[in-house]
Each structure stands twice: as C-alpha cells, then as structure tokens.
Structure 1
Amino acid sequence: MTSNDVPAPGAPAGRRRVLGRGALRVEPESEPVAEVESPTEVESPAEADGHDGDEPGDGVFKVRLANFEGPFDLLLQLISKHKLDVTEVALSKVTDEFMAHIRSMGPDWDLDQTTEFLVVAATLLDLKAARLLPTAEVEDEADLALLEARDLLFARLLQYRAYKQIADIFNRRLDEEARRYPRTVGLEPHHAELLPEVVISIGPEGFAKLAVKAMQPKPKPQVYVDHIHAPLVSVQEQAGIVVARLKELGEASFRTLVEDTTDTLTVVARFLALLELYREKAVALDQETALGDLMVRWTGGEGDTEPTVTDEFDRPPEPPKEDKA
C-alpha cells in the first residue's frame, strides 16, 4: 500500500519514503513544491486608527500566524493542496484566536461557524498527530490501518469543501428565488362573475361527525349473506305507518320517519311508500339545500280515507314469457 502523504519536516527534498508491504522502496525525485511566502504585513485601517483589529468587521474568522494570515477556509485549502505543511501550523494559537473571535461577537455568535471550526480543527489535529508520528516500514495490519485512517482524513477535508460549495450554491439559488414575486392581481370582473357561489351548509357539529367518521378504522371487506334470507317488507304496510305518523305530527323529516327502523330494506320500503303518497298528492316534499334533510308535510286531509298505495312492489316478479314460434 502506498501513502500519498507529504514527507515529514527534516526529510530530504529529493527523495521520499514509500510505506507498504515488503521491502522499502525509493521513488525518484518529485517536483519541488512551491513554498508559501509569508505575506507582507500591511497596516490595516483599524490599526492605523489605533483600534484593535482582531475583530473582523464582516464576522468572518481570520487566522493570524507567523507563516499565514487570512480566512480559516483558505488555511484549510492550502493544507489540503500541500502548499502549507500542517506541522508548521500552531493549532493552539488558532484555537485561542477563534475563542477570542467568539467572545468579541458576544451573543450574536454563529453556531454554524462554530460547528464548522470544530470539525475542521479536529481533522487538522488528527492529521498533524499522524504527521508527527515517526515513519517506518510497514510490517503489520495495524500500521496499514493507521495509513488508511490518514488517507481518510484527507478525504474528510475534501468532503467538507464539497459540502461547503454545495451550501453556497443553495444559498445563491435561494437569494435568486427571493427576488421573484408572484402575481397578486385578482380575476377580471367578467371572469369573477362566472365563479359559482360557495355555500357551506355544514356547521361545527357536522365537521365533527365527518372527522369522527374519517378517523374510524375501515372495516375489513366481507361478503354478507344476510340479505339472501331477509324477510320481505311490504310497501303497503310501511305506507300505513308513514300516514299514521304524518297525521299525528303534521310535518316531519324523512330521518324522523325512519328512526325506528333497524334494517336497510325497511328504509327503502318507506321511501317507496313516500313516493307513492307523493304521487297520490297526499304529501308535499321540501328540501332547502342539496343533500339536506327531506321535509315531508301531510296534505291528504283529516278524513279517515287513506290514499291508495299500489302493491306493485309487493308482488313477486313475473316469469319471463316464452316466445311463440
């Protein structure tokens, strides 16, 4: 296994050692890596005015070391590109400066910036510890695991940069979308007149019943055979019951007329009887709203004569007629 690590400080510039299984090999000279020159110290406007320049005006944490000065993200990029040796970075001083930066911001410190610093600082600390360990020929699986862990540290740095770039892309798109506004102009008058009137005839109790019905668990699908052996219900008999109740009440809803029924066949028979009575002009029907209560009013008079209800619904079906050849 070959390590892609940069030679430790003090090693010759012309050769580097390769750690792997078997004998030690020596690779040819690699291209020299450009050294990062120390930036020229320029007096900042804050220092020229006599103020403390440790606190950045834009809230971005900046590192000031002997061999580097700039944003913390730039330090990470230089280390990941091998333009700056991690062993030459005083992480303790970087941590102290970051703590001072947090204190200077007071209650307005950024949690996301602090989390990013902890992730990057922990990664750099592990990387620096791995670089400072003495290098030797790899002979066992434990040493190979250490080298793999060191490679994972570099991969973690690359992932951090990738996530940060993607976050910047998302923020830029959010800023672009924030500059778009929806059309808030209403419909033209001639189009608004075409809209139907919305009439909500259900009250809080009705909504509560619908909510209870919707939240009840649905029954398992079953095939019922009770209707096969159910007794026949006479429409004429149910018509007599409806007439007696209407003569007593004068006016009642269909719900009241069928509240004593226990099966669907009886409800259907009473509805058919109601239609027969309406055809004989013995009752008047009124329904104010669609799907509302059906009000039934008796108009057959006070006499003992009852309207005639045919027994066409009570007769058994006629057998089909045979075609005569």
Structure 2
Amino acid sequence: MEYIVNLNKFQGPFDLLFHLIEENEIEIYDIPISEITEQYIIHLDRMSEYRLDITSEFILMASTLIEIKSKMLLPSFSDNEEDDPRQDLVNRLIEYKLFKDVSEEFKDWEEEELKFLPKPKEEVEYDFKFNEQILFEEINVYDLLNSINSLLKRRKIEIGREPPKFNIRYDEYSVTKCIKIIKNILKDKSKVSLMDIFKIDFNKGFIIAIFLSILEMTRDNTIKIIQDNLFEEIYLISK
C-alpha cells in the first residue's frame, strides 16, 4: 500500500505521526510499523529539503520507530499481547488524540459563546498544546481530560444554545491567576478535588484556565494528581 504524505508544518512528532495514521486510514491499534517508519523518515527528509524546522523531538520519534521496527522483526516467544513493542506508542497516540479532540471542542464552544459576547475573537486565546513531556504519576492524562470534558459537556447541556445568563469575562481568569488560586487552596488543605475547585466558578473560561493551570503545575512538579479508583473523584495534592 502506498502512503500519502502532505508537506505540512507540524507542531511536533506526534502531530506528524497521527497525520500519517489518520490520512491513510490506519487502525491505531494495529499500526504497520515498518511502512509508517519508512514514510516518517521520508517525510523528515522532505522537511529538510524544504528547510523546514526539524527539532530533536522529531529525530527522537524516528529513533523510537526504528527501535520498535527492529523489535518486531525479532522472533517472539510469547503470545502475550502486552509484549507488543508498539503498545506504549499506541497509548501515547490515543492520549494525543484525546488532547486533539478536546482542543477542537474547546474551540467550537468558544465560537458558540462568542456570538453573545462583545469582545472580538482575536482577544480570546487559549494556549492548548499537547506536551509530550507531561506524565502524571498517579493518574494519566486521559482521566484528567475526561473529567474536564465531562464538566464542559454538562455545562453546555445546562446552557444550551440560549444566551448565557451571566457575563463571561475572558480576562478574569488567566493561567497565572488560577495557579495562585490552586496554591492558596492547598495552603489550607492537604488535597482538593476538581469539583471543589469548579464550585468557585462554572463558566467555560474558568474551567479551561484551571485545566491549563493543572498541566503547568504538573510540569513544574508542584502538584500531583490522584484518583482512588476508576471514575471516582480526582484530587490535587501539593508536593
């Protein structure tokens, strides 16, 4: 099968890899690693020819793909699916897809609400990017995003397509301000639940700003995120 690649400028290696998988309708749980590796390297060569930026992350992904390809060529002495060398890559791609989907939902809901707001769209911006270095110790990104996404969907159902019954000020909650809010709460408590934080304000701007703040604080190693059991309350704990 011939895999088609367009010379787009990608934000990162997962963006490029997911594009290859999506564009050629490849099953994410059964990636033909040999073909994808070949196409990925060809694409990097083309990016180099057109003098597009190739960061170390792209090179690292190429090395990872080559390593997985090598492992898959070795004879397997186990029938255990968990031994599949692609599994970690598949998990990260699923994680990336969730970021991508939620990001698109954020934009859609933002555009819907801006119909009722006096501020021009240019003044509203969320820095929502997939960071491959973010790894939560006690809970994965998928669980956190699901929790945030559920809150936003619930809020959308409550508001519907009617004009909001309150004024939303997008400059009221910045990421910096929300980090301070979380830190102040954790000064008095050993842990705080996401739901308790969202009781402060349930507008979309605040929910998104809090979510980005949690990612930033996790990156800085100032908090950790825990969940006792699947589908139960998510808590933030100060480190």
* TM-score of the pair, normalised by structure 2: 0.32
Q: Relative contact order (alpha carbons < 8 A, sep ≥ 6): 1 or 2 greater?
A: 2
Q: Which has the larger radius of gyration?
A: 1
Larger relative helix fraction:
2
* TM-score of the pair, normalised by structure 1: 0.25
